[in-house]
Amino acid sequence: MSTQPKREFILALEGVHKEFDGYKAINDLNFYMDEGELRVIIGPNGAGKSTMMDIITGRTRPDKGKVEFGKDTDLTTLNEYQINRLGIGRKFQTPSVYTDHTVLENLWLSLEGSRNVWSTLFSRITPAQRERIQEVLVTIALTDRADWKAGSLSHGQKQWLEIGMLLAQNPKLLLVDEPAAGMTDEETAKTGELLVSLAGKHSIIVIEHDMVFVRQIARKVTVLHQGHVLCEGTVDQVQNDERVLEVYLGRKKKAQ
């Protein structure tokens, strides 16, 4: 009869399974995240990181298990569009910005409500929209590039613009897949600062390989292996965890 109040997470995955042709890509995955957290997920290739994001965003439907967003939204019953409208934004690895449009136009296009290139470009920008765009430009440090064509930006700047395009929609949860890939060290460091500055205002999941970058941004790290959480903790804790060393360095394989 005891009714323990349920702890409220922004995101909770419980007992999630997903098989592809008999291969268990996600295997009894349990994952919990507090609101405002910046969580880093690491794991070897094929660990199921992208599949996990596909499941959260509705791109892939799990075979079983719960995926709860906030107190009582079951994401497994919704499609990608509905999930996006709830405030879950995803940034894929390669930037997809409109290269022939300016930075400002790209941000404008991504604002809530204005989804169509033509209707947006032939309508007038409202003061509220302008204000939101300015805020985002400051956040992504591209104010002085507002009138540049997105195609003329550096790789790092394009990535920031795309993060800005997601921010323009005011997401509650932001999923970011390997943001530092292909960036210079300086761009990587700036990306880290950007993500850290967003934590608290948004909940963020970052998938990353670059351990220098992980160390810069991470509070709590989740290590995924064979579709299951292998361990969680600070960067130091997971880097010294025997199970993680085994998975990454193949210690046990020496005996082969």
CA-angle at 189, arms to 186 and 193, nearest 5°: 135
CB closer to ligand ADP, 25 vs 166? 25
Kindly list the distances between the CA atom of residue 228 and the CA atoms of 26, 64, 232, in Å, as whole numbers in the listed order. 6, 14, 11
Least CB distance to ligand ADP at residue 227 (A): 7
Query: What is the binding site for Mg ion (CB under 5 A)?
Result: 49-50
Contact 231, 243 (CB under 8 A): yes
Own/partner long-range contacts of 21-25 (Cβ < 8 Å, ≥24 apart): 24/226, 24/227, 25/51, 25/227
Lay out the site mask for ligand ADP across 41-70 (x = CB under 6 A, - = otherwise). --x-xxxxxxx-------------------
Which among 211, 229, 196, 216 is positioned nearest to 47, based on CA atoms? 229
- Smallest separation, CB 118 to ligand ADP (Å): 33
Segment contacting ligand ADP (CB under 6 A): 39-47, 81-89, 153-161, 168-176?
39-47
Q: How far is the CB of 153 from ligand ADP (least distance, A)?
A: 27
Of 40 and 140, which CB lies nearer to Mg ion in the complex structure? 40
Judge contact between 54 and 25, C-beta under 8 A: no
Residue 111 partner contact from Mg ion, ligand ADP, none using kind-dependent CB cut-offs of 5 to 8 Å: none
CB of 185 to ligand ADP, least distance (A): 24
Strands 64-69 and 11-20: antiparallel
Which two structure tokens, joined as six digits, stand for 245? 């060393």
Task: Decide whether 46 or 250 has the Cβ nearer to Mg ion.
Answer: 46
**How many other CB atoms are there within 10 angstroms of residue 178's CB atom?**
20
Tokens of 91: 């940034």
Site pattern 191..230 for ligand ADP (x: CB under 6 A): ----------------------------------------
* Cβ 241 to Mg ion shortest distance, Å: 22
Give the count of residues interacting with ligand ADP (CB under 6 A): 10
Which positions lie near ligand ADP, rule CB under 6 A? 20, 25, 43, 45-51
